[in-house]
């Protein structure tokens, strides 16, 4: 059974046998089936969330496998002052730089 049913959609299936569909049935973040609404009715229960996409397009997930090597290398040897590192203010930046500088040789 489906957790989610996307209907009234323009689904790009990437299946050479059926390039487009009108609905998608999904369970646990995995596609169960793509087809027309009447074909997927068997996947619907009283617990299935149904979203009418009003003709919007659904594309398969894209995974961007490239990286910017120089930026990656720099990020590995520089001080992380991003919000992900807990930096939320100028005083946080100053504290991070002060703490980091305690471990540097005097000439750096």
Tokens 């995995």 sit on residue: 30
Same domain, 22 and 54: yes
Range of the domain at 41: 4-58
Same domain, 16 and 45: yes
Q: Which two tokens stand for residue 39?
A: 């074909």
Residue 106 clears pLDDT 90, i.e. is over it: no
Task: Tell me how far apart the alpha carbons of residues 28 and 48 are, in angstroms, rounded to a whole number.
Answer: 12
pLDDT tens column, 10-28: 999 988 999 999 999 999 9
* Residue 52, domain CATH: 2.30.40.10
Same domain, 50 and 86: no
pLDDT score at 107: 84
CB 93, CB 79: distance < 8 Å: no
Q: Which two tokens stand for residue 73?
A: 């290398």
Same domain, 9 and 50: yes
Same domain, 77 and 53: no
Angle at 100 between CA 98 and CA 104, to 5 degrees: 110
pLDDT tens column, 32-50: 999 999 999 999 999 999 9
Same domain, 52 and 85: no
Q: Is 43 exposed, middle or buried (0-12, 13-18, 19+ CB in 10 A)?
A: buried
pLDDT tens column, 52-105: 999 999 998 877 777 888 888 988 889 999 998 999 999 999 999 999 999 888
* Residue 107 counted as domain residue: no
């Amino acid at each position: 059974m489906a957790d989610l049913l996307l209907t009234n959609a323009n689904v790009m299936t990437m299946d050479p046998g059926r390039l487009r569909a009108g609905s998608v049935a999904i369970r646990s973040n995995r596609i169960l089936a793509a087809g027309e609404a009447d074909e997927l009715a068997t996947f619907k229960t009283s617990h299935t969330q149904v979203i009418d996409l009003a003709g919007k397009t659904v594309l398969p997930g894209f995974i961007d496998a490239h990286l910017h090597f120089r930026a990656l290398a720099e990020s590995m040897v520089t001080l992380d002052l991003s919000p992900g590192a807990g930096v939320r203010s100028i005083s946080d930046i100053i504290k991070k730089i002060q703490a980091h500088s305690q471990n540097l040789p005097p000439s750096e």
